[in-house]
Amino acid sequence: MSPLVKIILIQPLPVSFLDSPENVDRALKLLEGCRGRQADLICFPEYFPFSGDEALAQAAKDLKAYLVAGLVEESKGRRYNTATLFDRSGNLVGRQRKCTLGNLERKGFGVTPGAGFQVFDTDFGRLGMAVCIDFWGQPEAARQLTDQGADLVVNPSIFPILRGHWSLGALVRAFDNYLPVVGVNTSSFVSEIAGRNYPMHGGGSFAIQPPGPEDGAELSRLVRNWDDLSDWVILKAGEEEQLLTIHLNLAGPRLWRPVIWERFGIQR
């Protein structure tokens, strides 16, 4: 298993109606831009492209990459806001349902809260997918995923409010759990939901990389300079539509996590 994972974050420009088939077409066009890049993992944001399971599964197979998409799941008469994972062969690996729902998505999309968090096995490590505020707004998702052995968390999000808190909250979770995190948002656009227009605060997709020191001496040097963890944020996007490529080291944090916890007295 390689210690480095190549990830492409797709920060798309959706059309105003998030459930429009045009967003599926847009997603597929953006995925074409990933061809030949040999990504291990490609990530879309929350509620994008909203639908299109079969087409996305085929794209994952064609690209030979794992793919995380923001899809609305229909199950037993209920709808769920999910991060959905396809593998390199286009198989559905699983769905992580969002647990913490705002009034806008309850009323506008008729979605139901999920319950609990789980990791999914990939050929590069164990992947957690916590949707939007489930991850950055409270500690439980990160705790559950880390305790299940997550090596990386993907945080697909969309923001009518609170985007400014996003990367800071995610950085806190990354420190608490000594865990690499990527967050992916849409670009800025105006969404029409339930007959009203809502400006979506786009951009700011990011990658957080906790250090993987060579030895204990290097760790001690690093810790003494941890007054500011801003250099853990190794990628930060602007507001426009773009594809962002990042390589993350999963092996270092996996190795040093228990040492960090012991050093800081973090009880798990």
| 3-class secondary structure per residue, 31-97 | HHCCCCCCCCEEECCCCCEECCHHHHHHHHHHHCCEEEEEEEEEECCEEEEEEEEECCCCCEEEEEE
* CA atoms of 112 and 261, how far apart (whole Å): 35
Angle CA 96–143–95, to nearest 5: 5
User: What pLDDT does 72 receive?
Assistant: 98
Q: 245 with 42: CB under 8 angstroms?
A: no
List the chain pLDDT tens, one digit each, 268 residues.
567 999 999 999 999 999 999 999 999 999 999 999 999 999 999 999 999 999 999 999 999 999 999 999 999 999 999 999 999 999 999 999 999 999 999 999 999 999 999 999 999 999 999 999 999 999 999 999 999 999 999 999 999 988 888 999 999 999 999 999 999 999 999 999 988 999 999 999 999 999 998 898 998 899 988 988 999 999 999 999 999 999 999 999 999 999 999 999 988 8
Strand blocks (E) in the chain: 4-11, 41-43, 49-50, 66-75, 78-86, 92-97, 119-122, 125-129, 152-156, 181-184, 189-193, 196-200, 206-208, 233-236, 242-249
What domain count does the chain have? 1
The CATH code of the domain that includes 161 is 3.60.110.10
Angle CA 7–13–17, to nearest 5: 125
Residue range of the domain that includes 91: 4-264
Q: 188 with 200: CB under 8 angstroms?
A: yes
The number of beta carbons lying within 10 Å of the beta carbon of residue 92 is 13
* CA atoms of 145 and 79, how far apart (whole Å): 23
